[in-house]
Structure 1
């Protein structure tokens, strides 16, 4: 019995030693960063902006691999089922781990067991905008307008389950108003109808709407972060009117479960170092994006708290992707 325990202990020590050695050698070949969205979109732009300096710090190329489809589940599933060695990582937004579990009846992976958050990367601020002909100049006035016109005010989104959809539902529930959701196949068609007046409002990325706000075609009523945005310094937070309102999606990195902690720690350290770069901060600022790193524990906690928040919103709205 004693010899058996000793043998097991020796095996455990050898396995632990080999894991440490493996992590110390990491990385020694190119890393694949899977982005579960099409090239050219907001997440893809930020992912590529971060991947270049991160590759320099890690000393290995980072290949951005776009795997769109299934509401971001295809790319997430690919990473979840990859080797847990740090060479396939997921650059993602709330869908795969925070919202899709409640929008879809079945996922091809377990978002809690198969993926492990590493670090937050950025916050992508949304802004509540209305067509220039809507008689409202503030969040308070828009809420009153919607209350006096129940069912006659509609808002556009990039599609069912998109952050622009869920932000609109959160706004409706927080303000106690009834707006009609008009889902589109992407931000482009939604923007076109918003500019023409076919729809009255939307809550989506500042980067999408800023030029139209600057031109006067759209009116910005409130940003969906709890603080003002440098991109729209004169626009107050929606939270000034609706206490605690926050609908700014986080971009973050996840890896397959069972990835050695030493590799997770290395990735977290280097991601946070990259986000301190003035050059990267200025680059992201042009898109209205706020770099935001943090510890792994903070990102794990954020996934849990955001999942709980959006679960309530989704269940109240009845939204489904399948």
Structure 2
């Protein structure tokens, strides 16, 4: 009888503790993490405007993640200051897994280019998703037909899709290594940059595949070389040589990758849950089709897992090139 009383008392105590925790919104899991995560909607911040490639990709990825997480993933746009506005909000959010950010790497790299409210240490990586190949292109009417012709150009004007962004820093490194007298002409995005080349205002540009492929298909622009994550030719441009094949430098080049991160300090179990959902969503049939339709290959499993580390390693090269070619930002 005494043993039964002890067991009943212990059970009552456990029930009372569980009830108290539930009433207070707490959890008995390590670090105070929600053992049943997620139990409510998750917000995915996108530090760019609605309708762009980052936003469209985020919404497609969120739809697939909802199936894995069994909850709603709400995409909210926070454009401004080259992604700094959105990442600042994400970095200051509560580290509970209910706020994550989906972005290109340039938003994170802003923290080494200038003073920002966040740093690489402000986030824990969830996982990489896909990459944005870069293409070096010239007008179809140009006398430059290959990289060798580019080497002999001597002097040229090159279009960039934003001051001190990857297309600017990358091209400064390329043309500097080739010993060319090259002047950067900034434009507000890839479309105006492409149109400027077609109109004869600039000679060459490095542009992302998603934006420039329509001009290539219309025979308005010619591809000289492609920069890819795996160093392999692109399936949709099988005749275009890679940087490696064309003898162009790759060590000081930054390749745009898209990925998800959460505020640093998020419980490891929650990060693991988000990682599994991200990995499953990104290789889903619908998201794979989206990546193919937009000329943005999925990252390999290894690169997806190491996305944030690769990003940090490349940021050092970005800073070095900016210093070498006196590219400054306010």
TM-score under structure 1 length normalisation: 0.87
Q: Once structures 1 and 2 are overlaid, which stretch shifts more, 279-288 or 172-181?
A: 172-181
**Counterpart residue number, 1:180:** 183
**Counterpart residue number, 1:244:** 250
Number of aligned pairs? 301
- Aligned to 2:238, what secondary structure does the other structure show? coil
Q: Once structures 1 and 2 are overlaid, which stretch shifts more, 122-131 or 299-308?
A: 299-308
User: Residue 298 of structure 1: CA displacement?
Assistant: 1.6
Q: Once structures 1 and 2 are overlaid, which stretch shifts more, 286-295 or 25-34?
A: 286-295
Kept after mapping to 2: 8 A contact 1:97/1:307: no
- Aligned to 1:181, what secondary structure does the other structure show? strand
Say yes or no: does 1:229 pair with 2:234: yes
Partner residue of 1:63 out of 74, 77, 93 = 74
Partner residue of 2:144 out of 119, 132, 136 = 136
Q: Deviations over 1:104-136 (max 9, x none)?
A: 2x2122x12212222111111111101122211
User: Residue 233 of structure 1: CA displacement?
Assistant: 1.9
**Counterpart residue number, 1:155:** 158
Following the alignment from structure 1 to structure 2, what is the Cα–Cα distance between the partners of residues 178 and 54? 48
Kept after mapping to 2: 8 A contact 1:163/1:204: no
Residue segments in structure 1 that go unaligned for 5+ positions in a row:
1-13
- Cα gap change, 1:103 to 1:45, in 2 (>3 Å): same
Following the alignment from structure 2 to structure 1, what is the Cα–Cα distance between the partners of residues 311 and 35? 28
For 1:108-127, list aligned pairs within 5 A: 108-109=117-118, 111-127=119-135
User: Residue 274 of structure 1: CA displacement?
Assistant: 1.7
- Aligned to 2:258, what secondary structure does the other structure show? strand
Following the alignment from structure 1 to structure 2, what is the Cα–Cα distance between the partners of residues 227 and 278? 23
Kept after mapping to 2: 8 A contact 1:33/1:63: yes
For 1:45-60, list aligned pairs within 5 A: 45-60=56-71
- Cα gap change, 1:220 to 1:61, in 2 (>3 Å): same
Partner residue of 2:102 out of 71, 91, 111 = 91
Q: Deviations over 1:192-251 (max 9, x none)?
A: 212211111111111111111112111111111121112222211122122535542111
**Counterpart residue number, 2:196:** 193
Residue segments in structure 2 that go unaligned for 5+ positions in a row:
1-20
- Aligned to 2:162, what secondary structure does the other structure show? coil
Following the alignment from structure 1 to structure 2, what is the Cα–Cα distance between the partners of residues 191 and 314? 24
Please, what is the CA RMSD of the aligned residues? Answer: 2.2
User: Residue 21 of structure 1: CA displacement?
Assistant: 6.9
**Counterpart residue number, 1:265:** 272
Following the alignment from structure 2 to structure 1, what is the Cα–Cα distance between the partners of residues 324 and 158? 17
Following the alignment from structure 1 to structure 2, what is the Cα–Cα distance between the partners of residues 309 and 294? 24
User: Residue 44 of structure 1: CA displacement?
Assistant: 1.6
User: Which protein shows a greater Rg?
Assistant: 2
User: Residue 294 of structure 1: CA displacement?
Assistant: 4.1
Q: Deviations over 1:160-214 (max 9, x none)?
A: 1222222212322343323110111222322221221111111111111111111
Following the alignment from structure 2 to structure 1, what is the Cα–Cα distance between the partners of residues 254 and 242? 11
**Counterpart residue number, 1:76:** 87
Following the alignment from structure 1 to structure 2, what is the Cα–Cα distance between the partners of residues 272 and 90? 15
